């Protein structure tokens, strides 16, 4: 019989969340550089940032309320991280 760490899945989810945080900080830096230049692109980025955040939050809330994130705390956590990771990666690609 082999030993299985009882919190392996939560540890994995924690690492995924940490990784998302690193990616998000990269996007924050890219956005700040864009907004520091000023002008119409900076204004557009600020508006886009706000609308994207609200849209992502509403999508996640809808997924949670309809059971789209699963039925366990772990599946909900991993689903939320996946949801935001898609948004962060799209922004990193657009800004980078």
Q: Would you say residue 78 lies in a domain?
A: yes
Q: Would you say residue 2 lies in a domain?
A: no
Q: Which domain holds residue 77?
A: 37-96
Per the structure, how many domains does the chain have? 1
H helices within the chain, ranges in order?
Answer: 8-36, 39-65, 73-95
Q: Would you say residue 79 lies in a domain?
A: yes
Q: Tell me the average confidence (pLDDT) per consecutive run of 10 residues in the chain, 96 residues long.
A: 85 96 96 93 93 96 94 95 97 93
C-alpha distances out from residue 82 to 41, 78, 88, 92, Å? 29, 6, 10, 15
Q: What local confidence, expressed as pLDDT, does residue 13 receive? A: 96
Q: Would you say residue 30 lies in a domain?
A: no
Q: What local confidence, expressed as pLDDT, does residue 3 receive? A: 80
């Amino acid at each position: 019989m082999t030993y299985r760490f009882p919190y392996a899945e939560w540890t994995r989810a924690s690492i995924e969340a940490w990784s998302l945080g690193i990616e998000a900080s990269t996007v924050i830096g890219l956005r700040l550089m864009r907004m520091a230049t000023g002008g119409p692109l900076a204004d557009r980025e600020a508006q886009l940032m706000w609308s994207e955040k609200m849209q992502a939050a509403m999508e996640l809330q809808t997924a949670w309320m309809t059971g789209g994130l699963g039925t366990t705390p772990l599946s909900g956590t991993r689903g939320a991280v996946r949801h935001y990771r898609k948004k962060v990666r799209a922004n990193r690609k657009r800004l980078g």
